A = this chain, B = another copy of it.
Amino acid sequence: MSAMSDDDRRAWAYLAAVAEPPCAPLIALAARYGAVETARMIKARKLPAGNAAVLTATQARCETDSASTDLETAHRRGARLVTPEDDEWPGWALLALDQASTSVRGGGPLALWVRGPANLGDASAVAVGLVGSRAATSYGTHVAGRLASGLADQGASVVSGGAYGIDGAAHRGALATGGRTMAVLACGIDRDYPSGHARLLEEIGDHGLVVSEYPPGTTAAKHRFLTRNRLVAALSAALVVVEAGRRSGAANTAAWARNLGRPLGAVPGPITSAMSVGCHQMIADGQAALVIDAPSVLALVEASGHDNFVRSPATPIDGLPPDQFEVIEALPAHGGLRVEEIAFSAGKPVAAVLTALAVLEVKGLVDGSSGVWRLAESW
């Protein structure tokens, strides 16, 4: 954790609780005004024009400031609040979520509650998501464990949702080989959900990471599973579905992976098994590659560029560092903006925007010659 003031961290904890995630406009506000000032404005119910959505999203909880309690609970459980201002913030991995923020329930997390010794940023640098049915077969859990061990042996973090079935087998497979694994929960990091996995989650927290965007005490709820799935996809450089029936929660995570440009793999199984129907469908439809072992999964990651920032199709802005990327994304397709407008739109300080624009102009990607900044015509 970086040297953030207690006031700052309390403000982040307040903001992380005040609206049900994801809430992209709240994140933009915090990026522009800082956490402390944003928290003050929300409590005072006085926000800059154009933030009606934030007022609505925070109405129910704005007067309840449980920040100190949440931070204490987290501390007692050996957990911490990681914000975009902290070094271990996985900004690179989450970038794709910001770009997908216009889709339903899209947008990144405002902050993440994290329990465990691993560095969140490092752990998500080469991470592979393994997901699948809770009602997995013994074949499925065997295969998930084997894949997870193989991936962990190769240095990849194994990301999953901590659930029964495939999720649990994946976490266990990574732990068994002394590897790194990350459980992304749909409830607070202090809730052992599912209860039968209390001991597994404890172990993951001891050796890997338990992650949630929900404050301590938050209970699991159906919509939170769907929201959580986007984080599993975003934190993974590639996602593998090990077993999935015709209708499966894993299909939702797989859809997020595709939305975010993450390569998708699926493990085949007996065509006589209802638990492999979803995987076979994804392969037959060309949505997922057929994968059989860790090397074939890592080949997927490699083919997509080896890092956790993957978009398809490739454009000249792929691979730009986040500060330049966010600035260029703030520019409209047609017409130009003043620096102050870009700074507002990107939620970044004017000085930082000017620095980024200067580099982007050298790269030929933006054009500031007309007094306003616009996308260069060449692309």
B-contacting residues of A (Cβ < 8 Å)?
A: 139, 142-143, 267-272, 276-277, 280, 283-284, 289-293, 296
In the assembled complex, the Cα of A272 lies from the Cα of B144 at a distance in Å of 12
Specify which chain B residues have a CB less than 8 angstroms from the CB of A272 in the assembled complex. 139, 142-143
- A269's partner among B269, B293, B296 (CB-CB below 8 A) is B269
Specify which chain B residues have a CB less than 8 angstroms from the CB of A143 in the assembled complex. 270-272
**A292 and B269 contact, CB distance less than 8 A:** no
In the assembled complex, the Cα of A290 lies from the Cα of B280 at a distance in Å of 7
**A292 and B267 contact, CB distance less than 8 A:** no
Name the CB-closest residue of B to A279. B268
Specify which chain B residues have a CB less than 8 angstroms from the CB of A290 in the assembled complex. 268, 280, 283-284, 290
**B271 and A270 contact, CB distance less than 8 A:** no
Name the CB-closest residue of B to A285. B290
In the assembled complex, the Cα of A334 lies from the Cα of B220 at a distance in Å of 73
- A284's partner among B142, B269, B296 (CB-CB below 8 A) is B296
Specify which chain B residues have a CB less than 8 angstroms from the CB of A269 in the assembled complex. 268-271
- A293's partner among B142, B267, B271, B291 (CB-CB below 8 A) is B271
- Knowing that A143-B271, A267-B271 are A-B contacts, what are 8 other residue pairs whose CB atoms are under 8 Å apart, sorted by A's residue number? A139-B270, A139-B272, A268-B271, A268-B276, A269-B270, A270-B270, A280-B290, A290-B290
Specify which chain B residues have a CB less than 8 angstroms from the CB of A296 in the assembled complex. 284
Specify which chain B residues have a CB less than 8 angstroms from the CB of A271 in the assembled complex. 143, 267-269, 292-293
Closest CB in chain B relative to A298 CB, distance in Å: 14
Name the CB-closest residue of B to A291. B284
- A292's partner among B139, B284, B289 (CB-CB below 8 A) is B284
A-B residue pairs in contact (CB < 8 Å), sample of 10: A139-B272, A267-B271, A268-B268, A268-B269, A268-B271, A268-B276, A269-B270, A280-B292, A284-B292, A284-B296
Name the CB-closest residue of B to A269. B270
In the assembled complex, the Cα of A277 lies from the Cα of B292 at a distance in Å of 9
Name the CB-closest residue of B to A273. B270
Specify which chain B residues have a CB less than 8 angstroms from the CB of A284 in the assembled complex. 289-292, 296
Closest CB in chain B relative to A244 CB, distance in Å: 14
Specify which chain B residues have a CB less than 8 angstroms from the CB of A292 in the assembled complex. 271, 277, 280, 284
